[in-house]
Amino acid sequence: MKFKSAAFKVIAKRMRRARGFTKHFYFGHPFLDAWFAWFPLNQIQYDGAAVGEIFNAASRIDESKSATSWIAEWSAEGERVKKYAESLILNNHVFSAGNAFLRAYTYYRTAHLATDPANFDAEMRETYSCLSYCYQRFRELSKVQIDEIQVPFKKQGKETSRELHGYFLKAKNLDSQKPAPTIIWLSGAESIAEDVYWWCGAEGIERGYNVFVVDNPGDTATRIYNEDVLNEGAGDDTLISQLDYLHSRPDVDSNNLFVYGISMGGYRAGRLGQIDNRVSGIIANAPMLDASKVLNEVKNVYKAPKEAQGWAKRMCWQFGVDTCVDLKAAVHELVDEVWGKFVVEPEKIQVPFLVMAGENELGGEGIRQAHEFYDRLGSHKKEKRIVTEYECGEAHCQLNNFPLARQIMFDWIEDIRKSN
């Protein structure tokens, strides 16, 4: 390791951890370390990454160059594994090729995290193109039934020419002629539809659930492949469009629809419960009463290091806020005017509801709103589950313990189904 990078690592270890983590994993830089835990460490599950490949890439990263080095090295690892997958196809090792493409997806996805349209626009689009290709190849070659779908987007109940891209993962071990219980995964603002496989997709289909996801307006992927589709207001039309679509499918048991929202999807989950009661239960990890207050610290990001500023610029771009003139003004607009419309009135929610959160959830305001949300819930069946540092799940959305988060979520759903 170069001296400059090693010295930076020592200094960076003293910085406050990102995303509610209380410990560091490998990198000194808080952003890099949080990304490292989220992707690719979590994706070792379901053959989505390999220890040797992970540390092969990580060991080459120069922390003093942060995003530039990060993007280059994870992309290089993704390219190496992708070429290996393609060689396996030539030798007719189809199943092995599918798994290799899934690992290549993870490395490109990890690279993609550090990109933004202001500093790394070409890299943002290239890594997205590569990760999409690898995921599609995995989908085609594996034995997992993952259907690519286009969901009609309705505005105030009326059809439009827009569509939402997503996936429908078919439940296993059930009579294919019968409708199955279905989980709607509402992603975070930094997530893409393909991420569902690790959050609840792979385990959900094994447990006998269909799993459904789309890229929402305001998400990175949506803006990349359809720049004209922007979030409007509180985002209600998107949520209702998804429910309407699922109710139209004969393979979906409309009496057993459940919602799991993470991060910004935690807001969306609560909002859906407020405006529509066609679901049997909702899990918000973590819910928000007012997204602008939870994320108010973003207003100070213009004082932060380049990587944090790049993240803020991407958030602004995703939600249609212009950063060209002044970053400070842009993030104020994003927080106050865009996210300021993301509010929920829990008293109006009647369906069973699980409030989930890490005890270190996005600072004091994040966990405070989770507690207040629970107290104000109108649901006749409600539960609160705060995951602790002792359980190794204190971080934002349990980014440091995916298996535990899934177990809490699925076990709650199963208990609700038994009680009905």
The string of pLDDT tens digits covering residues 180-210 is 999 999 999 999 999 999 999 999 999 999 9
Decide which of 54 and 5 is more confident: 54
Distance (Å) of CA 338 to CA 192, 301, 309, 316: 20, 17, 18, 9
Place of tokens 């890299």: 123
Q: Is the pLDDT of residue 11 over 50?
A: no
* pLDDT at residue number 364: 87
Report CA torsion sign: 315, 319, 324, 327. Answer: negative
**pLDDT tens column, 135-177:** 999 999 999 999 999 999 988 888 888 899 999 999 997 776 7
Q: State the amino acid at position 347 in one-letter form.
A: E
DSSP 30-83: HHHHHHHHHTTGGGGGGGS--HHHHHHHHTT--GGGTHHHHHHHHHHHHHHHHH
CA atoms within 13 A on the CB side of 105: 25
* pLDDT at residue number 105: 98
* pLDDT at residue number 65: 82
How far is it, in rounded angstroms, from Cα 44 to Cα 51?
7
- Looking at residue 176, what DSSP letter applies? T
* pLDDT at residue number 17: 58
Decide which of 77 and 25 is more confident: 77
The secondary structure element, H or E, covering residue 212 is strand 210-214
* pLDDT at residue number 63: 87
Question: Is-contact 31 308, C-beta < 8 A?
Answer: yes
Name the CATH topology of 30-140: de novo design (two linked rop proteins) (1.20.1440)
Please state the pTM of the whole predicted model: 0.94
Angle at 354 between CA 48 and CA 284, to 5 degrees: 55
Question: Is-contact 18 34, C-beta < 8 A?
Answer: yes
Report the chain's mean pLDDT, rounded to a whole number.
92
How far is it, in rounded angstroms, from Cα 52 to Cα 55?
5
Token output for 9: 């690592």
* pLDDT at residue number 2: 58
Q: What is the largest CA-CA distance in the chain?
A: 62
Domain ranges of the chain: 30-140, 146-290+342-419
Q: Nearest Cα to 266, choosing from 398, 123, 97?
A: 398
How far is it, in rounded angstroms, from Cα 156 to Cα 234?
13
Q: Is the pLDDT of residue 7 over 70?
A: no
* Helical residues (DSSP H) of 301-401, grouped into ranges: 306-318, 327-332, 363-376
Tell me what the mean pLDDT of segment 313-327 comes to.
90
Question: Is-contact 343 235, C-beta < 8 A?
Answer: no
Name the phi and psi angles at 146, rounded to 5.
-120, 105
Angle at 297 between CA 236 and CA 342, to 5 degrees: 10
How far is it, in rounded angstroms, from Cα 372 to Cα 290?
11
For the domain spanning 146-290+342-419, the CATH number is: 3.40.50.1820
Q: Nearest Cα to 242, choosing from 284, 200, 193, 201?
A: 193
In percent, the amount of the chain with pLDDT more than 90 equals 79
